[in-house]
Chain A
Amino acid sequence: MDLETINSELVYDNGEEVSFTAKTDDANRILPAIEFRDVSLAFDDQIVLDSINFRVRRGETKIVLGGSGSGKSTIINLVLGLIKPDSGQIFVDGEDITGHDEPEMMLVRKKIGMVFQEGALFDSLSVYDNVAYRLHEEGVDEDEVEHEVRRMLHFVNLEDAIDKMPAELSGGMRRRVGIARALVGNPSIVLFDEPTAGLDPPTARTICELAIKLRDLEDVSSIFVTHEMNNLDYLSSEYAIVDENGQVLFELEGERLCLINTEVIMLREGNIVFSGKDEQLRAVDDPYIHRFIRGT
């Protein structure tokens, strides 16, 4: 397989690229992780998505903004194949999933981790069994399951909750367990469906930090659906690095750098009304976008 150079993750505002580059032998890297081509969907007379086009590159976080009922969560359900589009094509890892039946989608879903709005933990299972669910289904050896569950709970900083039931957890803890469950099996794509809705700001910040770690340290491609502007601020202005002691640090991109692995699309009534960087979003002269950003 041919070697290929990965684009650097950071560029200066003047367009000059930062010097570090990486090599990979994965020729598939040039394929987008997710691609929507002219995707349309309507429920009865109501148009939910109207010829939507966008791509999520490898290692990129695509933030999907929009008001309630704008079609944000529908995009995630389409990627998972939980609903089918009326027209257009959806690609996951370069594979056209539009016509896939349920057994074929089950295989595609193994590559995808999904974080639901309220966590969607299985009430009858403990935190351990929730996180281990996918591995138990695959019949993985119990020692290996336990190691993986502890690793994932360590990632979301919830090792102490391993034996608790979902009913004993706070809203933020449920979301974090949901993230740990989604990450089991090391999916290359993670979908976040309003994971910070209804959470206090520090907990919402923690969830965003997990998404940043996934993007910058695990090379995960993701769609992050939200309507909260502070989520956008965190995800598009900070990046994660690991210091010499192995500690994860979050640093601001500052004035001289611009994260190129995070983009925003904004939906309105089933149409994409904006696509680009967060700085471009704030500079757009559109009354709807202005009102959305400022909340007035």
Chain B
Amino acid sequence: MNPIKQFIFEVEQISVLFWQIVSSLRNRPRYFSEIITQMDRIGVGSISIILLTGFFTGGVLILQAYPTLQYYGAQSQAGRGVATTLIRELGPVLTALMVAGRVGSAISAELGSMVVSQQIDAMRSLGTSPIRKLASPRVIALVITLPLLTVAADIFGLLGGGLVANQLYGLDSSTYMTSVRTGVDIDDVLGGIIKPIIFGLIIGLIACHKGLTTSGGTVGVGRSTTSAVVSASINVIIADFFLSRVLQTLFDTTLF
């Protein structure tokens, strides 16, 4: 199959998977306990790497931007710069990329292993839909937890930025916090939450699709895992561009 046909075929399959997941929510069984389990694995399990990523990203933003701001005499706006950059862009994208790496690969590998060891066939033969039992809870858990993780990353990013600004450059904490508060409005926060919802959907759908279509034994599991992470990461970055444009239009602003 040539790459264009392959791409169209995969888009079609992912669209069908999305529709099956939506359909599975309309009737029983719904597997709420499985959703909670996945939220724990995805959300709580990822919190440490997300907080570290947020903290050091905020820190490095100040580290790079402060000397320039100081040159123009605008160092009091350092908090604003970190806040808008983190909440609008880096927070959602970096969190999504970290989750794609950690969770997307895990989902794909787990489902792929179940496919090659015939556990998925066994599940179907026992009268259970793997989409309903395995894919839906994972995608729903990602859609719920990714915005929460993003907010956590944003908060720790602001803390990291504040710490670096205060400790390395001697910026007063209250000046930094005032700058953060004046720099962020409700549109920023809403945009920063809408983006990770879409990113969670993208990561979940791609990881489940790659896992459930695994073929070729253990080599195939490795292949689908790599493919899931690469594909999810690229799609998150591409989606971020289009989402930013949509949100700009929606909130009537040139920011995002």
Interface residues of B in 122-138 (CB under 8 A from A): 122-129
Q: What is the interface size of chain B, counting residues whose CB is below 8 A from a CB of the partner?
A: 14
B126–A120 CB distance below 8 A: no
B121 within 8 A of partner (CB): yes
A120-B118, A123-B119 known; A137+B125 contact, CB < 8 A: no
> What is the minimal beta-carbon distance from A76 to any residue of chain B, in angstroms?
9
Which chain A residues lie closer than 8 Å to B125 at the CB level? 80, 82, 109, 112, 114
A122 in the interface (beta carbon within 8 A): yes
Q: B119 — which chain A residues lie within 8 A by C-beta? A: 120-123
CA distance A226 to B128 in the complex (A): 27
Complex partner residue of B118 from A106, A116, A181, CB under 8 angstroms: A116
Chain A residues near B127 (CB-CB < 8 A): 106-107, 109-110, 134, 137
- Chain A residues near B124: list those with CB within 8 A: 80, 82, 109
Tell me whether A118 is interfacial, beta carbon within 8 Å. yes
Alpha-carbon distance A218/B122, docked complex (angstroms): 22
Asked whether A122 lies within 8 Å of B122 as measured between CB atoms, the reply is: yes
Once the chains are docked, how many angstroms separate the CA of A267 from the CA of B226? 39
Q: How many residues of A contact B (CB 8 A)?
A: 21
Residues of B within 8 A of A121 (CB): 119, 122
Chain B residue at minimum C-beta to C-beta distance from A112: B125
Q: Is there an interface contact between B126 and A137, defined as CB atoms closer than 8 Å?
A: yes
Contacts A120-B117, A137-B29 given; does A102 touch B129 at CB 8 Å: yes
Would you call A118 and B118 a contact (CB within 8 A)? Answer: yes
Across-interface contacts of A181 in B (CB, < 8 A): 122, 126
A77 cross-chain contacts in B, Cβ below 8 A: 121
- Which residues on A are within 8 Å of B, measured CB to CB? 77, 80, 82, 102, 106-107, 109-110, 112, 114, 116-118, 120-123, 133-134, 137, 181
Given contacts A80-B125, A120-B122, A134-B127, 19 further A-B contacts (CB under 8 A): A82-B121, A82-B124, A102-B129, A106-B127, A106-B129, A109-B127, A112-B125, A114-B122, A114-B125, A118-B118, A120-B121, A121-B119, A122-B119, A123-B113, A123-B119, A133-B126, A133-B128, A134-B126, A137-B128
